[in-house]
Amino acid sequence: MGEKIATRAAYGKAIVALAEEYPELVVLDADLASATMTNGFMKAYPDRFFDMGIAECNMVGVAAGLATCGKKPFVNTFAMFAAGRAFEQVRNSVAYPHLNVKIVGSHGGLSVGEDGATHQCCEDFATMRSIPGMVVCCPCDGNEMAAAVKALLDYEGPAYLRMCRLATEVFTDTVPGYKFELGKGVTLREGKEVTVIAVGLMVGRAMQAAEMLAGEGIDVRVIDMHTVKPLDTELVIKAARETGCIVTTEEHNVIGGLGEAVCACVSENCPVPVVRHGVEDTFGRSGKAEEVLTHYGLTAEGIAEKVREAVRRKNG
């Protein structure tokens, strides 16, 4: 087993590690520094850290102003508030003028656990994808998060970065030839019979499912689609043509997220069966993170069931 670290913790380390290389980097938070893991940056660079209090909409507006002055603002709060409460400011103050602001949503998905349905944001991919020109990224482990932060600092324009509260195993650093690039998915495992396209927390579970299914004689390709927008359509079409069916898996509503992005791409370019796996258009509930994920079927076995369904559809 590799090291376990929450992507929010990896993010906190990355912004501190990159601060000297990027003196324009400034960090804004909404009274959640110990939860979003920006407290390390706050201590190391207090003159570049701005606690805006519980005023997320105002925080986004301030970040937009800083961007017009040549700064690289990273705005931090829970995903529910970043993609929900402050949606209008993200759309109108950041995306419409195409400003260089990064919106960072921590505690995305059901794995927020005990905080319950009001804080378990499973709609953020959908809302952020709908904004013109907005990049949407959700790394799967600590290694990928560090690479994503560096890439976003180099990217000029608005972007949404989703982070997870739950500690997960770091594994991408052991994948031969692994390379992170915004807008480009990564094939983590080759397979000829079916492709699983996963994002965030579900990537590791997709790898587990592929191992399980190999024992049943099902050869599964696994793609880490860390950038939900812009989608790596070339990689999706290649998978559709070569494996003949696709399963998408995400810690997000099956409406509006990765699954729908992949379905649109496949239907327009290479129609094959696509089975979506995720939160089935419902709200979450309070409980220990793993128990909540299991209740909603966001497990390796849950993915495996969808893979079996996709293969059945493919074979008629």
What are the catalytic residues? 56
Candidates 260, 269, 188; CA nearest to 224 is: 188
Q: Is the dihedral of CA 228, 52, 115, 39 positive or negative?
A: positive
| Backbone phi and psi for residue 71, each to the nearest 5 degrees, phi listed first | -80, 165
CA distance 134 to 75: 15
Distance from CA of residue 313 to its chain's centroid? 28
Cα gap 41→190, rounded to integer Å: 39
Q: 104's torsion region: left (phi>0), alpha (psi -120 to 50) or beta?
A: beta
For residue 35, report the phi and psi dihedrals to the nearest 5 degrees. -95, -40
Q: Nearest to residue 264, comparing CAs of 222, 239, 300, 236?
A: 236
Give me the DSSP letters along 65-94.
Answer: HHHHTT-EEEEEEEHHIIIIITHHHIIIII
Question: Cβ–Cβ contacts within 10 Å for residue 187, how many?
Answer: 17
Token pair in block for residue 158:
């608005």
174 burial level (CB within 10 Å; 0-12, 13-18, 19+): exposed
